[in-house]
Amino acid sequence: MAEILNALTEHLYGGKTLDEIYDILRRERCLSPVGIERRAQVIAVAVDAEAEWRRDDERGVVGGTREYRIAFTLMSKGYLNARAKKLFNKITYKQPGASA
């Protein structure tokens, strides 16, 4: 999966650890009720997503960033809410010369 810069992953770039990423998601009100109730499961899914991203990166597979992979995986498992999906779909990349 190729990454297009989006508002959700931009928030997640500040998280060095998966605990920090979870805290960012919570602070930004991006977790679903299940995501809030099951912190340990959310972090376990993020661990797996990060490991998959690392394997792909080591093999030279072109794709999304660590944060993109984590966000995409958490969203697909139902741990993120509609606000997170809206941020994920909000493109933040501007082409050079494009007007605002």
Exposed, middle or buried: residue 85 (CB in 10 Å: 0-12, 13-18, 19+)? middle
- Whether 47 shows a pLDDT value over 90: the answer reads yes
Domain that holds residue 53: 7-88
Domain membership of residue 100 (yes or no) is no
Residue type, 74: L
Q: Using pLDDT thresholds of 50, 70 and 90, give the confidence band for residue 88.
A: very high
Domain membership of residue 99 (yes or no) is no
Write the CB contacts of 75 (distance below 8 Å, at least 6 apart in sequence).
Answer: 84, 85, 88
Domain membership of residue 61 (yes or no) is yes
Domain membership of residue 98 (yes or no) is no
Dihedral over alpha carbons 69, 73, 75, 78 (to 10 degrees): -160
Whole-structure pTM value: 0.86
Domain membership of residue 49 (yes or no) is yes
Question: Count of domains in the chain?
Answer: 1
Domain membership of residue 44 (yes or no) is yes
